[in-house]
Structure 1
Amino acid sequence: MTLTQLEIFALVAEMQGFTAAAVRLGISQSGVSHAVRELERELGVELLQRRQGRAEPTDIGLQTLERVRSILGLAEAMRQEAADARGLRRGTLRIGSFGPTSSLRLLPLLLAGYRHEHPGIEVYVDEGPDELALQWLQARRVDIAFAALPDARFATCPLVEDQMVAVLPAGHALAARERVALADLCAEPFALTGAGSGEMVSRLFLAERLRPDVRYRCGQLLSTLETVARGDAVSVVAELSLPSRRCADGYVTRPLQPEVRRQVGLAMLDEERASPAARAFMAMAARLRREGGLAQAQPGA
């Protein structure tokens, strides 16, 4: 069993295909298939099911994949610790990001500073809903993830704070109010976004034992805003997720009553076992926050 075999298996499982993994690695498909077969032969189990051009992990393959990611994470940490002794000149960093709040407002500012300080580190970004980003972190698919804080499961670094707001069609009766209660929104058709803070919105209604009349489930925030602007529904989103320049004049926002605040930051599994590249990113983010370098990411900026 070699690290190369483990890396190939993990990549095939992630991309669900031998061809895609071969293209990513720059080697032949037969080489990828041979590495996986040898690993399966040594372990004596089938790790991947091949069907209809896809490769999906078996039950034991999923368990093995979790172990493999831990091993590869430790190996990468060892490489980076050696690189750290040489000035952190090489290494990789994988970041889990969600929605416009992190991907459009926070991440560009953080990456600009990080690439300036550590140009030799290769950074990969996976984007999905907030809960999925944390699942990637727990599965060690990413080294760091953006998260709504606090979260006692992880080592965290708070970055910015905003609030949840109701999004209403311009001219809607509720738009005349300074603040809007969740209960008032339950009488209207509701658009639930699947991006960014969608999970948090669902939990807010559940905590109040309320059930919004969800007529639209939008995969993207812009689709949610467009649905509201047409007058088809109302919604609730995080203020920081809204476009810095309004893409439409057909909607307005109002704070919730009572106010619901949200803190966004970075999370990692274990600071002591994290790679030097991940620790350096967290340290740089904390420094930027202290020095006011994230001010332009705040609401209204």
Structure 2
Amino acid sequence: MELRQLEYLVTVTEEASFTKAAAKLHVAQPGVSAQIRQLERELGQDLLDRSGRTVRPTEVGAAVLPYARAALAAVAGARQAVEELTGLVRGHVAVGTVTSLGQAVDVAGLLADFHHSHPAVEIGLIEDTSDNLLQALLTGRLDVAVVSLAGELPPGIGVQVVVDEPFVVAVAPGDPLADRTSIALDALAGRPLMCLPRGTGLRTVVDHACAAAGFRPRIAFEAGDPTVLAQFAVRGLGVAILPESLARSYPGELHAVNLTRPKLRGRLALAWRTEGPSGPAARALVRQARAALPERTEDAPA
């Protein structure tokens, strides 16, 4: 019995197909079939039911699968232990970031530094909403992510806040609000607002605050990039709700009005999974990212 045979058995079962398993394993299909046949001859029982349109484990195969997975996991664990003890980190890390990140966190610089420290590690990057990124962390599809925080975090997620700043109302100089220094949130009821899409931290904060104030926001424009919202506001298309630093980066073109009753804040955080398996490459990335991104609090300058 060889580990390769156990790997083929598990993969064929997961893919329910010899063809798909062979493609995933990057080997020829006849080789996969031959190795599993050899394993079946050694055990004296059929492990896979090939009679249907999809391949399924037989009763014996289903009984063998947990042991096959355990053997493969044990080998992977042994390799990880050796790599950690010798300082040799290989493998793959999956990183996520909110689409609306902008220049708030230098993810490119962070990943470049990590690649320089661990050139043998492959790095994958995706952009999505905070809700989807947190779910991907929980399911193991991501190892670390930069997310926008709003509400309670799901269990099993650790975070380090790296940006914490107020949200403000941003309007063009000719807007009726341009002579105001502050405004209560409920004064925006009925005004056309521009905001990030649902699922983002900023939008969640705004929706919850408006609901608590007794009105539903009238969202006239949505954009995944807050700089696009700022440009819409410059053109006088409505009221944009933006991070303060972004609104104030358009001097003469945008007027930032402080939000009161309630004050709204945006927080970006480095997030990672605290429960479940985690490889040495993922742990190394989390350690390096936490060291490179100082933790922020409401009173600390961003």
Q: Is the TM-score greater than 0.5?
A: yes
Match of 1:134 in 2: 134
Q: d(CA) in 2 for partners of 1:74 and 1:104? A: 41
Match of 1:52 in 2: none
Q: Which amino acid aligns with 1:261?
A: R
**TM-score, normalised on structure 2?**
0.66
Shift of 1:29: 11
Asked if 1:92 is matched to 2:92, the reply is yes
Q: Which amino acid aligns with 1:139?
A: T
Q: Which amino acid aligns with 2:217?
A: P
Q: Which amino acid aligns with 1:119?
A: P
Asked if 1:288 is matched to 2:288, the reply is no
CA deviations on 1:238-262 (whole Å, 9 max, x unpaired) are: 346x38965x964333332143233
Q: How has the CA–CA distance of structure 1 residues 216 and 177 changed in structure 2, closer, same or farther, with 3 Å as cutoff?
A: same
Q: How has the CA–CA distance of structure 1 residues 285 and 173 changed in structure 2, closer, same or farther, with 3 Å as cutoff?
A: same
Structure 1 stretches lacking a partner, 5+ long: 12-17, 45-71, 293-297
Greater CA deviation, 158-167 or 95-104? 95-104
Q: Which amino acid aligns with 2:290?
A: A
Match of 2:168 in 1: 165
> Percent of counterpart pairs with the same letter?
23
Structure 2 stretches lacking a partner, 5+ long: 34-48, 59-71
Shift of 1:95: 1.2
Secondary structure (helix, strand or coil) at the match of 1:136 reads: helix
Aligned runs of 1:158-197 on 2, under 5 Å? 158-194=161-197, 197=202
Tell me if the contact between 1:76 and 1:275 (Cα under 8 Å) persists in the aligned partners: no
Match of 1:41 in 2: 55
Match of 1:151 in 2: 153
Q: How has the CA–CA distance of structure 1 residues 245 and 285 changed in structure 2, closer, same or farther, with 3 Å as cutoff?
A: same
Shift of 1:286: 2.5
Asked if 1:228 is matched to 2:233, the reply is yes
Greater CA deviation, 76-85 or 184-193? 76-85
State how many pairs are aligned. 254
Q: d(CA) in 2 for partners of 1:277 and 1:102? A: 26
* Structure showing greater Rg: 2
Aligned runs of 1:55-94 on 2, under 5 Å? 80-94=80-94
Q: d(CA) in 1 for partners of 2:209 and 2:94? A: 30
Q: How has the CA–CA distance of structure 1 residues 198 and 26 changed in structure 2, closer, same or farther, with 3 Å as cutoff?
A: farther
Q: Which amino acid aligns with 1:212?
A: P
Tell me if the contact between 1:159 and 1:289 (Cα under 8 Å) persists in the aligned partners: yes
Q: How has the CA–CA distance of structure 1 residues 82 and 168 changed in structure 2, closer, same or farther, with 3 Å as cutoff?
A: farther
Q: How has the CA–CA distance of structure 1 residues 183 and 78 changed in structure 2, closer, same or farther, with 3 Å as cutoff?
A: farther
Match of 1:200 in 2: 205
Q: Which amino acid aligns with 2:240?
A: S
Q: d(CA) in 1 for partners of 2:286 and 2:238? A: 39
Tell me if the contact between 2:13 and 2:55 (Cα under 8 Å) persists in the aligned partners: no
Shift of 1:174: 1.4
Q: How has the CA–CA distance of structure 1 residues 285 and 29 changed in structure 2, closer, same or farther, with 3 Å as cutoff?
A: same
Shift of 1:272: 6.7
Q: How has the CA–CA distance of structure 1 residues 191 and 274 changed in structure 2, closer, same or farther, with 3 Å as cutoff?
A: same
Q: Which amino acid aligns with 1:238?
A: P
Q: How has the CA–CA distance of structure 1 residues 166 and 244 changed in structure 2, closer, same or farther, with 3 Å as cutoff?
A: closer
Secondary structure (helix, strand or coil) at the match of 1:190 reads: strand
Shift of 1:102: 6.8
Aligned runs of 1:264-279 on 2, under 5 Å? 264-270=268-274, 273-279=277-283
CA deviations on 1:179-225 (whole Å, 9 max, x unpaired) are: 23221222311123226633333223223332111222334334322
Secondary structure (helix, strand or coil) at the match of 1:197 reads: helix
Secondary structure (helix, strand or coil) at the match of 2:174 reads: coil
Q: d(CA) in 1 for partners of 2:97 and 2:257? A: 26
What CA RMSD, in Å, does the superposition of the two structures yield over aligned residues?
A: 4.3
Q: How has the CA–CA distance of structure 1 residues 3 and 273 changed in structure 2, closer, same or farther, with 3 Å as cutoff?
A: same
Match of 2:258 in 1: 255
